[in-house]
Amino acid sequence: MKEEVSLSLEQDRKVGILYAAASYTAWGLLPIYWKLLKAVSPGEILANRIIWSFVFVSVLLIWNGSYKRVKENLTNKRNIILLLSASLIISLNWFTYIWAVNSNFVVQASMGYYINPLVVALLSATVLKEKFNKGQTGAIGLALIGVAVMTFQYGRMPWVALILAITFALYGLIKKLLAVDSIIGLALETVVLTPFALAFVIYKMVNGTGTIIGLSSATMIILAFAGVVTATPLLWFARGAQKVEFATIGFLQYIAPTLSLMLGVFLFKEEFNKLHLLSFSFIWLALIVYTLSTFKLDFIKFRKSITHTK
Q: Each residue of 48-88: pLDDT tens digit? A: 999 999 999 999 999 988 888 888 877 888 888 999 999 99
User: pLDDT by residue (tens digit) across 109-154?
Assistant: 999 999 998 898 888 888 877 777 788 889 989 999 999 999 988 8
pTM over 0.85: yes
Q: Give me the helices (H) in the chain, please.
A: 2-35, 42-64, 67-73, 77-102, 106-126, 134-154, 159-178, 182-206, 217-224, 226-243, 246-252, 255-262, 274-309
When the pLDDT of each residue in the chain is averaged and rounded to a whole number, the result is 88
300 confidence band (pLDDT: 50, 70, 90) = low
Give per-residue pLDDT as tens, 176-230: 888 787 888 899 899 999 999 999 999 999 998 888 888 899 999 999 999 999 9
DSSP code string of 152-210:
HHHTS--HHHHHHHHHHHHHHHHHHHHT--HHHHHHHHHHHHHHHHHHHHHHHHHTT--
pLDDT at 77: 84
